[in-house]
């Protein structure tokens, strides 16, 4: 144990020395604002960098390759509800490989239900009644079809009150399982008017404007004229956009220089600078990168807040040995998440006068709900897949942070608060994408710092 602590201390010293050197070398350009305190939060960027890259990223990465988190059920064929369909992207890398049922873990085949709660004698909470009672004192549990439909409407209404994004119906025949490891998020070549329309619609029609209503893009120059809740909404969306852009730059395809060799996937610094350098972004790129840290803290807080809920999940796939290992790994990950010293404080949001706060929260929820629907307008299937996952992950984080009348004891409130399997998988994978972005941002800082040093020599 002593040796392990020594090794960890050694890694810490090396990390800070390396980070200091490259920060000095790259304190201009894209990274000029990546220092000091994170906007509307109480911690610094270098604190997040160290916490993520050294402590959290390695274990989270190992969790996301397990069977429970690598398979997700999605509908990629729903039509766009807002404008005529632009058609599907015809580029090969836009396609998604769906997963036939025979390749799924046994617990995900057919219409298996997502099991929750600790097991007792091999059975979940809902299955621990005394089976020897037989018919003695049995209650007639039959209900009419009409009442059954009414109960479903009630449940949907209750769920909708605290739902921040559109989720696919997990029982729909239109859904298919996708193996995320076989469909990694990377640059596909999807661009042009169709791609630009997605983000234009998100920012211009669904983000709050600093002087009320809807309108042009909000910029860092007028952001502070807005209230905290509207700033948080914009920073979360901007941070999500930055994260996705970083993934595409980090996994960018470079063609081979000759006809006989294969191209390769890897970091593209020119694409990174095109998206974030002040020269090409009207000075906004560095602030967009800073917003990545805001959404990172927001989703990290949601996971830490709901830790008691996740600690009681089975993460069921039907493979008992693997499921147990995942439970242990997730608990270790949650311990790390809870140990972060300066979590995002959601209690300061929607804390004004009751009526005004409720109105603002509902407007906040409906804006984001609309953004989740826009994901069905993405013309590239792979982009749509990862867009839905990351938007659903952020929506699930909002649900955890702002659910109505929910105390922090998620275990005791399990009947009032429930997450579907898709919400759990989306939250962890969505946060995994943010963690990956923070990690690769440090890599880009090192590469560009190294390049600048070579030019100076």
Binding residues for FAD: 186, 188, 199, 238, 241, 275
Angle between helices 285-305 and 381-402 (to 10 degrees): 60
Give per-residue burial for 87-112: e unless 16+ CB within 10 Å, then b.
eebeeeebebeebeeeebbebbeeee
What are residue 281's phi and psi, to 5 degrees? -125, 25
Q: Would residue 41 show up in a list of annotated catalytic residues for this protein?
A: no
What are residue 254's phi and psi, to 5 degrees? -115, 120
* Annotated binding-site members: 186, 188, 199, 238, 241, 275
Alpha-carbon 292 to chain mean position: 12
Residue 241, C-beta contacts closer than 8 angstroms, at least 6 positions apart: 199, 202, 288
Are residues 49 and 55 in contact, defined by beta-carbon separation less than 8 angstroms?
Answer: no
Q: Would residue 383 show up in a list of annotated catalytic residues for this protein?
A: yes
Selected catalytic residue, list 89, 165, 207, 383:
383
Q: Active-site residues: which are they?
A: 380, 383
């Amino acid at each position: 144990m002593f040796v392990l602590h020594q090794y960890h201390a050694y890694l810490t010293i090396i990390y800070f020395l390396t980070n200091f050197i490259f920060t000095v070398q790259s304190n201009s350009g894209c990274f000029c604002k990546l220092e000091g305190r994170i906007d509307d939060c109480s911690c610094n960027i270098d604190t997040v960098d160290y916490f993520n890259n050294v402590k959290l990223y390695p274990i989270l990465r190992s969790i996301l390759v397990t069977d429970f988190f690598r398979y997700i059920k999605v509908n990629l064929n729903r039509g766009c509800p807002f404008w005529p369909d632009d058609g599907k992207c015809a580029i090969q890398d836009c396609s998604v490989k769906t997963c036939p049922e025979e390749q799924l873990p046994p617990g995900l085949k057919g219409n298996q239900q997502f099991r929750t709660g600790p097991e007792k004698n091999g059975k979940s909470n809902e299955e621990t009644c005394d089976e020897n009672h037989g018919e003695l004192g049995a209650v007639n549990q039959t209900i009419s079809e009409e009442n059954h439909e009414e109960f479903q409407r009630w449940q949907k209404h209750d769920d909708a009150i605290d739902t921040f994004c559109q989720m696919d119906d997990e029982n729909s025949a239109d859904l298919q399982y996708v193996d995320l490891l076989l469909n990694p998020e990377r640059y596909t070549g999807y661009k042009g008017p169709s791609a630009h329309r997605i983000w234009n619609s998100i920012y211009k029609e669904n983000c709050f404007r600093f002087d009320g209503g809807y309108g042009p893009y909000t910029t860092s120059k007028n952001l502070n004229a807005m209230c905290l809740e509207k700033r948080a909404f914009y920073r979360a969306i901007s941070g999500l956009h930055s994260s996705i852009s970083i993934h595409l730059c980090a996994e960018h395809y470079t063609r081979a220089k000759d006809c006989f060799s294969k191209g390769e996937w890897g970091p593209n610094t020119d694409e990174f600078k095109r998206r974030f350098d002040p020269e090409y972004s009207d000075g906004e790129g560095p602030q967009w990168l800073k917003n990545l840290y805001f959404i990172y803290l927001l989703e990290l807080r949601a996971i830490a807040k709901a830790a008691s809920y996740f600690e009681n999940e089975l993460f069921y796939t039907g493979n008992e040995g693997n499921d147990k290992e995942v439970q242990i790994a997730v608990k270790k990950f949650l311990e790390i998440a809870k140990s972060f010293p300066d979590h995002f404080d959601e209690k300061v949001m929607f804390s004004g006068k009751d009526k005004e706060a409720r109105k603002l929260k509902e407007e906040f929820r409906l804006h984001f709900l609309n953004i989740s629907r826009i994901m069905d307008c993405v013309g590239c299937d792979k982009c749509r897949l990862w867009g839905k996952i990351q938007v659903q992950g952020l929506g699930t984080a909002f649900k955890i942070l702002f659910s109505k009348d929910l105390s922090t004891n998620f275990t005791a409130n399990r009947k009032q608060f429930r997450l579907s399997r898709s919400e759990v998988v989306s939250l962890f994978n969505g946060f995994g994408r943010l963690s990956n972005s923070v990690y690769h941002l440090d890599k880009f800082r090192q590469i560009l710092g190294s390049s600048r040093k070579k030019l100076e020599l």
